[in-house]
Amino acid sequence: MVYLTLFHGRNDPSINMDGWGYMGPTFAADFISGVYTTVMRLHVGEEHQEILYYDNMLFYDGSWYGDWFISSNHNGKVDLFDKVKALPSLPDNLKPIGEYYDEL
């Protein structure tokens, strides 16, 4: 099992960050893969969930994250992934990177 933690969070993707923002969720997976820099896939068994990149940030549950890390151990809370929370209402000037948005 590996763990993906999102951090450097903010509520608005267009703000200039003075600090590191806030910590985000941590998800568990059997393994994690990426497709170019368009999508991060969390694989559990035969299934996978996707978090898309938007303007070089990952979105989840109302927050935008500029950074992430993968670890092999995690002693804190592990969040359940909800694919609905991974799809933002996008402003006109911000589009998903890649072709995967239409498939979700």
pLDDT in tens, 31-62: 999 888 788 999 999 999 999 888 889 999 99
**Average pLDDT across the chain, whole number:** 86
Percentage of the residues of the chain whose pLDDT score is greater than 90? 59
Pick from 98, 88, 70, 100: nearest CA to 13: 88
What's the rounded mean pLDDT across residues 22-39?
92
- As given in the structure block, the two tokens for residue 3 are 């763990």
Q: 70 CB contacts (<8 Å, ≥6 apart)?
A: 2, 3, 4, 5, 32
Which pLDDT does position 92 carry in this prediction? 62
45: buried, middle or exposed (CB in 10 Å: 19+, 13-18, 0-12)? exposed
Range with the poorest average pLDDT among 12-26, 72-86, 87-101: 87-101
Q: How confident is the model at residue 100 (pLDDT cuts 50, 70, 90)?
A: very low
What's the rounded mean pLDDT across residues 74-89?
89
Tell me how far apart the alpha carbons of residues 104 and 74 are, in angstroms, rounded to a whole number: 29
What's the rounded mean pLDDT across residues 80-104?
67
